[in-house]
Structure 1
Amino acid sequence: MNIVKISSRNLFRNQLTAILNIVLVAFGIAILAVLFLAGSQISHKLENNAKDIDVVVGAKGSPLQLVLSSIYHIDYPTGNIAAQDAYKLMHHPMIKKAVPLALGDNYNGFRIVGTDSTFTQLYGLSVHKGAFWHRDLEVTIGSTVALAAKLKIGDSFFGAHGLTGNGDIHKQHAYIVKGILKPQGNITDNLILTNIGSVYKMHEEKAENTAHAHHGDDAKEINDKQITALLIQYKSPMSVIAFPRMVNQQTNMQAASPAMESARLFSLIGVGIDTLQWFAVFIMAVAGLSIFIGLYNAMKERKYDLAIMRCLGASKSKLFFLVMLEGMLVTLIGACIGILIGHIALEVVGSYQESSQARLTGLAVVPQEMYLICTGLFIGALASLIPAMQIYKVDIAETLTKDR
């Protein structure tokens, strides 16, 4: 006696009820799958992009905005800071490494970042083709930029003012692609890197200024100018408390901790995530109740069939597992469909996201999905337990002698 085959046939004796139960389970699992996938990807992106960055220094304003714009490049900067003041801060005794950033332009939505060689050291960058920039108007582009913008070594392009769109194009100077980075799996894949002098040149009103070699003195390059922010590593853990306080109280700049602001960001969206999680749990509980009611009522109608099966040699334990399997099949099918729907939904949502840096994908797989399948099986087993126990109450002689 093949109990799997019998269970699958019994499952669809009442097709509408079975389909309804599968849809309920699938809907609840799909919500949880989307939350797990999105949460895992967001957490990975935040951790991977902010790796080894202890604090960000920039213009006063929202610290969260400063972190988002300087590390994740998904917001507008809080403003600019005097490059001379920033340069002095870069040589503070508490600082191990400081990376200057000059933002303000983009190409087809990809941000052009003025910086120096410390940026490549911070992220451990290496080139796939060509070389790193050396002079003004030379750029090294991320792998995603090269693919999406169809740029190759030696190509030239014009940057546009602002961090999005191509409204105000700087046609007086063209950037030249000198190198393409190896894929890093972080924000640098979506950036166009150049020296700070290139950013200054794009915004100069007079064209007679001469180019600066990148390998020259950084102090000369940023003197009497402005930059957007500094990415800083501490020399010792003791600086975590003292350095931000010093910057915030004694300068016209602010220091923002990526770890603190990321935690704050999650706390802001945490209420909505918790609400969706409880909603999904409620839907799955309703599905479990529906399965229980359906199987319980079915047992009353199938007592004669079960008695016949007992006469044919089926044991009580085998019939018990037969009923249990029916409920578990419903939730297993629903869980698999729900996970598939979750992946498709997240991929569709990700395709409509404007920011390529923060784009989510449904092509990823997370370990929590196995827990969702196990949870579905548990709900099916729990909902089927009481109906399955009715097997032990079936009196074969009494059931078979009754008129059907």
Structure 2
Amino acid sequence: MTLAGLSLAYQRDRALNTALNVLLLTLGVATMVILVLFSAQLGERFERDARGIDLVVGAKGSPLQLILSSIYQVDVPTGNIPLSTVETLRSDPTIGAVIPLAQGDSFRGFRIVGTEPAYVEHYGGETAQGRLWQAPSEAVLGAEVARRTGAGLGQAFVGSHGMAGDGQAHQETPFRVVGVLAPTGTVLDRLILTSVESVWDVHGIAHAEAGGHEEAHEHEHAAPAANASIRGDHGEAEVTAMLVKYRSPLAAVRLPNFINRQTELQAAAPAVETARLLSLVGVGVDAARGFALLLILTSGLSIFVALYTALRQREADMALLRVMGARPVAIFGQILLEGLLLAAAGALLGVAVGHGVVALAAGAFDQLGDLGLSAFAFEPAEAWIVAGALAMGALAALIPAARVFGVDIADTLQHAS
């Protein structure tokens, strides 16, 4: 029998003890893997979606809510702001670009966003099929939207009021799909894009010269923050938020304070708010990481105790192996291999369980899936986690294995008989 076969035979002989040791290590490794996937993927998505956006301007409220709803599309808008604000900011020589967003409706849980082609260009989006919108009621689907809804070119659909898609449907103003975007790995993938004017049309807002004041139809009964319309109290056109790029560093110094002094507006810097969000999340991540490390260390101690106890019970077996010609180094290696096998089983199962939990979480919570959390991506840090688990298993087996060199064959066999 080979050393590996002998090690597996000893593990089967104490199956319950082996299973408990592997389970403990699996839980520790799985927790570490979940944290690695969560922090790495969400951090990367946050950075990718906010890249190139210096400021977000919207209605008064929570700055973090404004960032989450306007850049990451995972929260409800803080309200609406006058359309005139767009041109006011565009006339500022220190501002390079202003991209308006009009939100409030969705289709099968995917948000319908009124904007301009510059929004697609900002994220490097290209049409895989069809073209971008050119006329009212034309819409372009993100890659994920097209995949999950099965919608294609020429298909008509009706948006529903609210971000969750459970509001009243706008049956009188359907959209028609004229394009599907190629995957970008950004927020574009999960949005339905159209013109701002199309969103105004859905909500009965006149927009001749972007300033009509015709009577708007009575809208659904919904909370303003959760289901933001894009009309003012008198039916005038509004937008939900604006994404701003600076042309001059001077804008970063004076613009946020200037905007925040206005009664209707607030300015939020994505870099600041994202850092604040990650720092809040980081406290919980650090605590969970400490707990996972404790589990791994406990499993290492458990492996050490199990091997040490088993080795004392097998001293007669080791003596017989020595009599049969086995060298102490070979027996030492066999015991070390037991520790490595236990650690390898726990590490591999931990990686599998960690990815399985992430898959379940992304499927159960739409927000996590929307933020790009995927169980099918492997991070380099996972290799270090597995290597660390194997090293711990070898270290836990090292002291019990070293006893091989101190065994007195004659005395051991005499006591065994």
Letter in 2 for 1:110: F
Give secondary structure in 1 for the equivalent of 2:56: strand
- Work out whether 1:294 is the aligned partner of 2:306: yes
Q: Which residue of 1 aligns with 2:4?
A: 4
2:293 aligned to which of 281, 287, 297:
281
- Mapped to 2, the partners of 1:219 and 1:241 lie a distance apart of 32
- Mapped to 2, the partners of 1:34 and 1:43 lie a distance apart of 14
Structure 1 position 193, deviation (Å): 0.9
1:267 aligned to which of 266, 276, 279:
279
Q: How does 1:202-281 map to 2 (within 5 A)?
A: 202-204=202-204, 225-249=237-261, 252-281=264-293
Q: How does 1:27-38 map to 2 (within 5 A)?
A: 27-38=27-38
Letter in 2 for 1:244: P
Letter in 1 for 2:200: Y
- Mapped to 2, the partners of 1:310 and 1:341 lie a distance apart of 41
Structure 1 position 219, deviation (Å): 8.9
Q: Which residue of 2 aligns with 1:86?
A: 86
- Work out whether 1:375 is the aligned partner of 2:388: yes
Q: How does 1:3-402 map to 2 (within 5 A)?
A: 3-204=3-204, 225-249=237-261, 252-355=264-367, 356-358=369-371, 360-402=373-415
Give secondary structure in 2 for the equivalent of 1:362: coil
Structure 1 position 245, deviation (Å): 2.2
Which sits farther off after the overlay, 269-278 or 22-31?
269-278
**Contact kept in structure 2, 1:87 and 1:219, CA below 8 Å:** no
Which residues of structure 2 form unaligned runs of 5+? 214-229
> Scaled by the length of structure 1, what TM-score is found?
0.92
Give secondary structure in 1 for the equivalent of 2:97: strand
> Scaled by the length of structure 2, what TM-score is found?
0.89
**Contact kept in structure 2, 1:107 and 1:166, CA below 8 Å:** no
Which sits farther off after the overlay, 325-334 or 348-357?
348-357
Change (3 A) 1:219 1:321: farther
Letter in 1 for 2:384: Y
Letter in 1 for 2:293: V
- Mapped to 2, the partners of 1:86 and 1:61 lie a distance apart of 19
Letter in 1 for 2:287: T
Structure 1 position 283, deviation (Å): 1.5
**Contact kept in structure 1, 2:76 and 2:163, CA below 8 Å:** yes
Letter in 2 for 1:155: Q
Which sits farther off after the overlay, 60-69 or 256-265?
256-265
Number of residue pairs aligned between Structure 1 and Structure 2: 396
- Mapped to 2, the partners of 1:169 and 1:368 lie a distance apart of 46
Change (3 A) 1:318 1:194: same
